[in-house]
Structure 1
Amino acid sequence: MTGATATATYPRKNRRRPSRGIGSTAGFLALSLSVYAVVGVLWGLLRPGYEATVDDAGAVSLVPAFNVEFTAFITFVVATGLLGALLALVMFVSSPHTRGSLMLLWVTVCTFFGAVVFFSAGNVVTHLIHPVPDLENVEPGSSMTLVPGITAGIGLAAAPFMASLAYWCAVLVSPPETGTDQSPAMF
């Protein structure tokens, strides 16, 4: 065959497309981790810190301020809890074909991992913006912002709790689906 190109046709493999339920659950995982990461970065940018000054003797004196550790922790808990409830309601409304107890469990698991991503992203950003200074190289009279570290602890439970509560409440108050004679049941 000169001057012509041979086009080979390959038989199509019988590939099964993933079900809508698998697509919805994967999409929810991607959405929740992305949203939690973005908001976690914002949280890390806005975390409060203590203003400190180095005196002539080399000692660091802190400016009296409110408890920044508690403020950072409570904003973490409130932000992840609200995000969890919002994302659970988004999943409930956008994917009616997956409603049920398995989706309630999936939403709970995804928001837990989302809270972990939120906390990790926020801490990385905080430490990039406000690194711990080397006190041997700090000149007297200079000032700096010190952001103390916090542990998430039980605060990691806020997002999954609020998500499961919001999803469960949405199931309870939603009207029965048309064409069926039973209300949506969780269990």
Structure 2
Amino acid sequence: MTLKRTTIPRPIGSAAGILAVSLLLYSVVGALWGLLRPAHTGTLREEGRVAIDVTMVSVEFVSFASFVIATGLLAVIVSLGVYITSPATRGPGMLWWLILVAAVSAFSFLTVGTVTSGLLHAAADLGSLSEGDRVSIVPALSPGIGWLAAPFMGALAYWCCALVTPDTEAEPLPIQ
């Protein structure tokens, strides 16, 4: 009895590689985003209350805008990279795959970033803090419509490349 060796079809292998690279890229950049994410700072008052310092910057808006911009730009980079490096897989199937990959990767970006910012701005045990201590708090981010930025920008970049790329086979010229 001989064992039959099976090979993974090239399009499936390419799709799995794209997913792996995208998740890794988004996770690394998400960790950096979590470290750079702004936080509310304040002073601990009596009974565990925190007096938040007044700032001119909206911490929530900066977090949302940076999430949308970062995930959107990463989706464009991944889509352009796939289009340029893998001409054999070009087509509507890859476009839909990149939309799904961008959505899943944006989730990993937010998850890793939230964990990283939580570790950086970890709330100490309230029993160990005393009145007058400085604390920083990172508000939770709920992207809402921002979830659509990465899939949309990635699909738009891929689609635009498909529109402007000339056919590899030139049409025959009519005989005159």
Aligned to 1:67: 58
Whether 1:132 and 2:123 are equivalent positions in the alignment is yes
Q: Which runs of 5+ in 2 are unaligned?
A: none
What secondary structure, in the 3-state scheme, does the structure 1 residue paired with 2:136 have?
strand
Shift of 1:130: 1.1
Q: Which runs of 5+ in 1 are unaligned?
A: 1-9, 183-187
Shift of 1:38: 0.7
Aligned to 1:41: 31
Aligned to 2:22: 32
Q: Which has the higher helix share?
A: 2
Shift of 1:111: 0.6
Q: TM-score w.r.t. structure 1 length?
A: 0.84
What secondary structure, in the 3-state scheme, does the structure 2 residue paired with 1:51 have?
strand
- Segments of 4+ in structure 1 off by > 6 A? none
Larger radius of gyration between Structure 1 and Structure 2: 1
What secondary structure, in the 3-state scheme, does the structure 2 residue paired with 1:144 have?
strand
What secondary structure, in the 3-state scheme, does the structure 2 residue paired with 1:132 have?
coil
| Alpha-carbon separation, structure 1, partners of 2:115 and 2:125 | 18
Shift of 1:64: 1.0
Whether 1:155 and 2:164 are equivalent positions in the alignment is no
Aligned to 1:79: 70
Whether 1:94 and 2:118 are equivalent positions in the alignment is no
Relative to structure 1, is the Cα distance of residues 181 and 68 closer, same or farther in structure 2, using a 3 angstrom cutoff?
A: same
Aligned to 2:155: 164
Q: How many residues align?
A: 171
Q: Which has the higher contact order (CA 8 A, sep 6+)?
A: 2
Letter in 2 for 1:22: I
